[in-house]
Amino acid sequence: MGNKLWEKTVQVNKEIERFTVGRDREMDLYLAASDVLGSMAHITMLESIGLLTADELKVLLAELHKIYDQAVAGNFHIEDDVEDVHSQVEFMLTRALGDVGKKIHSGRSRNDQVLLDLKLFTRSQIQRVTEAVEELFQVLITQSERYKDVLMPGYTHLQIAMPSSFGLWFGAYAEGLVDDLQLLQAAYKMVNRNPLGSAAGYGSSFPLNRTMTTRLLGFDSLDYNVVYAQMGRGKMERNVAFALAGIAGTVSKLAFDACMFNSQNFGFVKLPDECTTGSSIMPHKKNPDVFELTRSKCNKLQSLPQQIVLMMNNLPTGYFRDYQLLKEVFLPAFDELVDCLHMAAYTLSRVTVNEHILDDPRYLPIFSVERVNELVLQGVPFRDAYKQVGLEFERGEFTHSKEVHHTHEGSIGNLCNTEIQALMNEVLAGFHFEKVEEAERKLLDSAEK
């Protein structure tokens, strides 16, 4: 047997092989469990249309389940002389079962196989990201409620502007994550459509039952048109990348605030000692490296959509090897973002808030608008009140109680955290991850019967 699914009599030049395979063996390890699940659904369908016998299906499913368990446990390896994950799985089946292992590729191309693998992998990773976002969201909402009465200065142009609060600060990022998940959910719905059966992009003369594999794998629907299914390569990654970049943008901004507010010049928060690092020369240093790295990683993730666009832009209809390189930037992105989300949640759940920031007289001017509004409520025209308070500053006579009385929705005194939580719950429910989990569980259970 050759070491490549497509190899016949002529062997490819070793340097050409090195160049064309690239990092595929490394990247395909991400896809191993998904590749096996897809094969289990495909051969179940092949048996239903008479291309496998019931006995062949039984032994193939049992062996694939063993390979799946290896992949999930991290014990799956692609051998040096094997080109990719698809080849490795097929060779393992053939070694274990003989010629029956050669039958699993009927009605399938590596093109629709990798499309399917990427969709199965991506939807599972979107679930991981969603769960990590929810974890950070809950930390932010909890801290917003805990410190809702602690005032802090708000800024415009990096100049002290108006009163804010830690309730507002934490809660703002919580609500931002809700919107980020809305975009991720839209991407998920595009991911959760079945490309299997499109083969090399033009379908198959076998009477494939694509509706059956859609049901077996828990997809919402088909990618119906086989040419469009292939056109989805790159488009799917780009759409998901934009959603990941949105989350990364929110977390990056949060990380910047945390670094700035932790510095001595601000002193608004203190990061837990165990979450900071020291200096090799300055014994007093406690550096916010966790949030600095989070900021940088998330800024890098925000470039992901552009990288993908530039790799797949202006390609005509059909498959091209250009798409292979998408794996190198796309597949590792999920781990990196989830790691940042976990670090942010861990650190912010343990942060210490300075509850006496506004004792410092330098922040007194943030109450100027409060004073203007008080005069307006007493009947003074706004422009006259504005001028009166401005003159008080010029004379050095401005004073204020440092209290605020905001009551409208979303303000210091009415954070609407209950409504924000309800909105998050609604978004989370809209993913319907349970449908996918149930389908995959049934498919794996069928291999044990």
pLDDT, one tens digit for every residue, the chain (449 residues): 345 554 555 566 778 877 877 777 788 899 999 999 999 999 999 999 999 999 999 999 999 999 999 999 999 999 988 888 999 999 999 999 999 999 999 999 999 999 999 999 999 999 999 999 999 999 999 999 999 999 999 999 999 999 999 999 999 999 999 999 999 999 999 999 999 999 999 999 999 999 999 999 999 999 999 999 999 999 999 999 999 999 999 999 999 999 999 999 999 999 888 877 765 666 666 788 899 999 999 999 999 999 999 998 888 888 888 888 999 999 999 999 999 999 999 999 999 999 999 999 999 999 999 999 999 999 999 999 999 999 999 999 999 999 999 999 999 999 999 999 999 999 999 999 999 999 999 999 998 87
Note the pLDDT of residue 116.
97
Residues in the chain: 449
C-alpha 207: how far from chain center: 37
Phi, psi of 287 (to 5 degrees): -90, 140
161 and 191 in contact (C-beta within 8 Å)? no
Note the pLDDT of residue 283.
64
251 and 341 in contact (C-beta within 8 Å)? yes
**Helix or strand or coil: residue 83?**
coil
Residue with tokens 């990719």: 84
Domains, the chain, in order of start with CATH, read 14-103 (1.10.275.10), 113-354+419-430 (1.20.200.10), 361-394 (no CATH)
205 and 150 in contact (C-beta within 8 Å)? no
237 and 243 in contact (C-beta within 8 Å)? no
5 and 83 in contact (C-beta within 8 Å)? yes
Phi, psi of 161 (to 5 degrees): -125, -70
Note the pLDDT of residue 5.
52
DSSP string, 87-138: HHHHHHHHHHHGGGGGGTTTT--HHHHHHHHHHHHHHHHHHHHHHHHHHHHH
Q: Count other Cβ atoms within 10 Å, centred on residue 191.
A: 24
pTM of the model: 0.92
Residue 11: exposure state from Cβ atoms within 10 A (0-12, 13-18, ≥19): exposed
Phi, psi of 353 (to 5 degrees): -100, 135
CA distances 240 to 92, 187, 351, 374, 399, Å, are 32, 5, 32, 49, 52
Cα–Cα dist 11/148, whole Å: 69
